[in-house]
A and B are shown apart, each in its own frame.
Chain A
């Protein structure tokens, strides 16, 4: 069974640009969540989508947005990039019905110059 796939694996951008990250969940999983990992803050929840609807959102500015498509694939967009946005962005999928583990992809390493 294929795991969660995130593309691209690495990305370098400059301040002020925008970026789109992609996530393909495990087949049959309808929930996709996004997390940001930084050395100082650890793993922090960005948002969660289920059946194309955002069900939960973390404490991040509006520059961070996402969407989910009818095939459960998800994209995350960050606009007006700042140096502090440099991080590992992780996507996780699950069936979405609670009490079931989320399974993670290997992440996209975003570096802002």
Chain B
């Protein structure tokens, strides 16, 4: 049972445009959500997170939106740069239940074309 789903295996955008990566979850106990970026041969790098008490969090070019009723979150990257090309993972945690484990989606490969 996949509790965190990233339905788009890949996404291709032009440099300077917006990249929108989507993630859906099924477990209503999740209360903390994160996005990670991963390059080949490296570990995931933390990008941005959001608590379930918020619906938006912004950090520079990265914004995460959370729609709790739809159990959906998205990551917006504006403007997209070629260096953003990587695999992006959505992850969720039930920190309120002292369940300190991350459940990951399968990832979306983002390619930003110059």
Contact = CB atoms under 8 A, between A and B. Distances in A.
Interface stretch (A11-19, A62-70, A71-79, A93-101): A93-101
Given A99-B32, A102-B46, 17 more contacts: A4-B43, A42-B105, A42-B107, A43-B91, A43-B102, A44-B104, A45-B101, A45-B102, A48-B100, A94-B100, A98-B32, A98-B95, A98-B100, A99-B51, A99-B95, A104-B46, A106-B42
Contacts of A33: 100-102
A14 to B, nearest CB: 24
Given A90-B44, A104-B43, A106-B42, A98 B98 contact: yes
Contacts, number: 64
Nearest to A46: B101
Chain B: interface size category: 20 to 34
Interface of B: 31-32, 34, 36, 41-46, 49, 51, 89, 91, 93, 95-96, 98-107
A33 B34 CA distance: 16
B99 A56 contact: yes
Interface string A76-113: 00000000000000101010101101111111000000
Contacts of A99: 31-32, 49, 51, 95
B31 to A, nearest CB: 8
B101 A48 contact: yes
B46 A98 contact: no
A100 B101 CA distance: 12
A24 interface: no
A7 to B, nearest CB: 13
Contacts of A105: 43
A31 interface: yes
